[in-house]
């Protein structure tokens, strides 16, 4: 005897229906059980709020030079002291949050965009398309990421925009390989064959039916890659190839503080702590996302 699905659902007790959480609720419950990941999420949220309200939170003009107040230690007036030009370190650190987060997100967007497109086409079409794309990816992978970024920035010239491009380029292979592998798995499923038999175009199959089903590993990789991008940008700025004076980028502030490391260590301490906490936050949150989005992780 056939029973309509709606009738079956109505026949179920309310307790049973409420005990079957939706997909996003299940994801959130799994993520919430990971205390370290939640702590990382709160750290990221804190820095996001600081970046959004930076002009309101900064007590002083981060670019205002006042040589009479240079190298003042932390006090009630300047909570994190002043630098060698008399600028308030706290104000520069707060404004620098916007720069560091912007560099990370733009660089990851560049790497994700091109990596996803290349990975989708390589995985879907295979054969010579896959061979050509993956050999290019192998060439990029042959160079250590930071060395490739150094070479690109050296060729383009030192600037924050060129740092974003450089980090984006060396992020492409990571996304391309992950997307290609996921595409190879999804395109073998029966529903893809059914959609193709109905006359759907390749582009529609790729971007409408395959891409949404491989978002989980992309989201995890993007979150983890943000930590690498922020750290790499800070490293390039530390070497003088990234943000140029007077921009208050954290890596540039750290580079400026190394000249006074033994006399006024707070100049390097505070930007170093900001970089470390944000990078660790993204790493532990990314690990938590990976566990929560993995269907094999039942507990």
Note if the bond before 105 is cis, omega within 30 degrees.
no
Phi-psi region of 272 (alpha: psi -120 to 50; beta: other; left: phi over 0): alpha
Note if the bond before 246 is cis, omega within 30 degrees.
yes
pLDDT at 14 over 50: no
Q: What is the pLDDT of residues 26-37, one digit of tens each?
A: 777 777 888 898
Cα→Cα distances 44→25, 52, 110, 232, Å? 21, 12, 21, 18
Q: Give me the mean pLDDT over the 129-139 stretch.
A: 91
193 — pLDDT class (breaks 50, 70, 90):
confident
pLDDT at 263 over 70: yes
Residue-level pLDDT at 97: 94
Q: Give me the mean pLDDT over the 264-290 stretch.
A: 91
Q: Give me the mean pLDDT over the 237-266 stretch.
A: 87
Cβ within 8 Å of residue 164, ≥6 positions away: 103, 106, 107, 110, 233
Q: What is the pLDDT of residues 68-115, one digit of tens each?
A: 888 888 888 989 989 989 899 999 999 999 999 999 999 999 999 999
d(CA 173, CA 298): 30
Name residue 82's beta-bridge partners.
Answer: 88
d(CA 228, CA 94): 21
Residue-level pLDDT at 23: 65
Lowest-confidence segment of 13-27, 46-60, 223-237 by average pLDDT = 13-27
Residue-level pLDDT at 156: 87
Distance of CA 288 to the CA centre of its chain: 14
Whole-model pTM: value is 0.85
pLDDT at 133 over 90: yes
pLDDT at 224 over 60: yes
297 — pLDDT class (breaks 50, 70, 90):
low
- Please give the domain boundaries of the chain with CATH numbers for all domains: 78-293 (1.10.3720.10)
């Amino acid at each position: 005897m056939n029973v309509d699905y709606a009738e079956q659902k109505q026949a179920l007790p309310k307790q049973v229906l409420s005990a079957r959480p939706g997909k996003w609720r299940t994801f959130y419950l799994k993520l919430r059980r990971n205390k370290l990941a939640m702590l990382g999420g709160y750290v990221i949220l804190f820095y996001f709020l600081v970046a959004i309200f930076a002009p309101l939170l900064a007590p002083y003009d981060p670019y205002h030079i006042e040589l009479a107040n240079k190298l003042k230690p932390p006090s009630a007036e300047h909570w994190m002291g002043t630098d060698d030009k008399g600028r308030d370190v706290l104000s520069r650190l707060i404004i620098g949050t916007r720069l560091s987060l912007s560099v990370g997100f733009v660089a990851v967007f560049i790497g994700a965009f091109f990596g996803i497109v290349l990975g989708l086409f390589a995985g879907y079409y295979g054969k010579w398309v896959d061979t050509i794309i993956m050999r290019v990816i192998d060439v990029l992978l042959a160079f250590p990421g930071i060395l490739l970024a150094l070479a690109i920035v050296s060729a383009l010239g030192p600037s924050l925009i060129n740092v974003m491009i450089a980090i984006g380029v060396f992020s492409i292979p990571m996304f391309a390989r992950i997307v290609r592998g996921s595409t190879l798995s999804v395109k073998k499923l029966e529903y893809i064959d059914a959609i193709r038999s109905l006359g759907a175009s390749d582009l529609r199959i790729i971007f409408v039916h395959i891409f949404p089903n491989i978002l989980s590993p992309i989201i995890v990789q993007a979150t983890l890659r943000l930590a690498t991008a922020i750290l790499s940008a800070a490293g390039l700025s530390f070497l003088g190839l990234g943000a140029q004076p007077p921009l208050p980028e954290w890596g540039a502030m750290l580079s400026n503080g190394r000249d006074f490391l033994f006399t006024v260590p707070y100049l390097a301490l505070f930007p170093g702590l900001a970089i470390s906490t944000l990078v660790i936050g993204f790493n532990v949150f990314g690990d938590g996302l990976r566990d929560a989005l993995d269907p094999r992780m039942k507990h």
